[in-house]
Amino acid sequence: MTRIAFIGLGNMGSGMAANQAKAGHQVVAFDLSREALAKAQEQGMKPAASAHEAVKDADVVITMLPAGEHVRSLYAEAILPNAPKDALLIDCSTIDVDSARTVARDAAMQGFRAADAPVSGGTAAANGGSLTFMVGCREQDFADIETALKPMAKAIIRAGDSGTGQAAKICNNMLLGISMIGTCEAFALAESLGLDAQKFYDIASKASGQCWSLTSYCPWPGPVPAAPSNREYEGGFAAAMMLKDLKLAQQAADTSGAPTPLGGAAEALYGELVQRGFGNRDFSIMLQMLRGQL
C-alpha cells in the first residue's frame, strides 16, 4: 500500500484520486473546496485540513490543479517544505513548460524526484482510469512514476526530461485545435458550394483530408454518432480548455522562437468563440461560428 497525497479534486482530480483509493492505496486528499473534500471522504479517502498536512507522510504527491501559478505556489509553500525528501512528486495539471521546468528544478535541488505528467482524455477517462499520461522526468525515475500512475492510466509514455510532458501535451492540442478548425472550414465551404455534408464526409474520410477531428469527432452532426455535435455540442472538451492550451502553445512558441502562424490563428478564433459566450460548449462548436450560426 502506498501513501498518496492527492491535491486538486476538481473535474479531473476527483475521479483520478478515487481510482488510487480503489486500487487499495491510502489516499490523503486536499482541495480548497469543502464539497470536493466531502466527496473524497465518501469515496474512501482521508480528507486533510491543509496541503501541508496532506503531504507530510506521503510516498507519492500528485497534483491536479488549474494552471502554472497554482502549481508553483503550492510546491513552494506546501509541498517542498513539508513532504518527506524521498517522496515522488508528480504534477498532472496542464501548465506552461517554463513553470514545469522551474518546479522540477526546485524539487531536484532539494533532493526530490519530480515529474510533469499531463494527461489526455477528459473526465470520462479520469473516472474510468483510462487516461494517457505524457511524462517528463529523469529516465531513472520513470519506473516508479509508471507504477504510481498505473491505477489512473490506459497508457503512460515518457516524453523525455522535465517539461517535455507539458511540451507533448501542448503540441498535441495545438495540432488538434488547428485540425478541428480546418475540418470545420471544409464543412462550411462544402455547404456553401452545395455539396451534401454526409457526401463530403464519405469522400474526405477516405481521401487525404482524413484526420481525427473528421472521423472520430466530426463537428457536423450525423456522420459520427458519438461526437458532441450530435448533442448540441454539450459535454466533450470545452472550447475554453482548448483556448487555455492554445495560449500555452503560443507562450511556448514565443519563448522558444518557433514559428506557429496557424497556432496563433487558432488561438484568435477560439478566443472569439469564448468571448461570444461559448466557452463551456464542446470545441467542435467552432463549425457553427464559421457558418455564421452563433
Catalytic residues: 169
The reply to whether 51 sits near ligand NAD by the rule CB under 6 A is yes
Least distance in Å: CB of 197 to ligand NAD? Answer: 27
Distance of CA 165 to the CA centre of its chain: 11
When the beta carbons of 117 and 204 are compared against ligand NAD, the nearer one is 117
Q: Binding to ligand NAD (CB under 6 A): which residues in 129-188?
A: none
Q: Given candidates 119, 178, 180, 188, which one binds ligand NAD under the rule CB under 6 A?
A: 119
The reply to whether 30 sits near ligand NAD by the rule CB under 6 A is yes
The reply to whether 74 sits near ligand NAD by the rule CB under 6 A is yes
Least distance in Å: CB of 160 to ligand NAD? Answer: 20
User: Could you give the CA distance from residue 148 to residue 158 in angstroms, rounded to a whole number?
Assistant: 14
User: Could you give the CA distance from residue 153 to residue 16 in angstroms, rounded to a whole number?
Assistant: 9
When the beta carbons of 14 and 288 are compared against ligand NAD, the nearer one is 14
The reply to whether 93 sits near ligand NAD by the rule CB under 6 A is yes
User: Residue 24: is it exposed, middle or buried by C-beta count within 10 angstroms (0-12/13-18/19+)?
Assistant: exposed
DSSP assignment string, 155-218: EEEEEESTTHHHHHHHHHHHHHHHHHHHHHHHHHHHHHTT--HHHHHHHHTTSTT--HHHHTS-
Least distance in Å: CB of 5 to ligand NAD? Answer: 11
Q: Binding to ligand NAD (CB under 6 A): which residues in 239-278?
A: 241, 244
Alpha-carbon torsion (8, 35, 78, 4), positive or negative: negative
Q: Given candidates 6, 10, 97, 220, which one binds ligand NAD under the rule CB under 6 A?
A: 10
3-state secondary structure of 267: helix
Report the residue number whose CB is nearest to ligand NAD: 10
Alpha-carbon dihedral 129, 131, 136, 142, rounded to 10 degrees: 40
Pairing relationship of beta strands 26-30 and 3-7 according to DSSP bridges: parallel
Distance of CA 108 to the CA centre of its chain: 24
DSSP assignment string, 60-76: EEEE--SSHHHHHHHII
The reply to whether 70 sits near ligand NAD by the rule CB under 6 A is yes
When the beta carbons of 36 and 80 are compared against ligand NAD, the nearer one is 36
Least distance in Å: CB of 172 to ligand NAD? Answer: 11
The reply to whether 115 sits near ligand NAD by the rule CB under 6 A is no
Stretch that binds ligand NAD, among 106-114, 115-123, 132-140, 271-279 (CB under 6 A): 115-123
Residue pair 135/142 in contact by the 8 Å Cβ criterion: yes
Q: Given candidates 3, 4, 5, 8, which one binds ligand NAD under the rule CB under 6 A?
A: 8
Interface with ligand NAD (CB under 6 A): 7-13, 30-33, 36, 51, 64-66, 70, 74, 93-94, 119, 122-123, 237, 241, 244
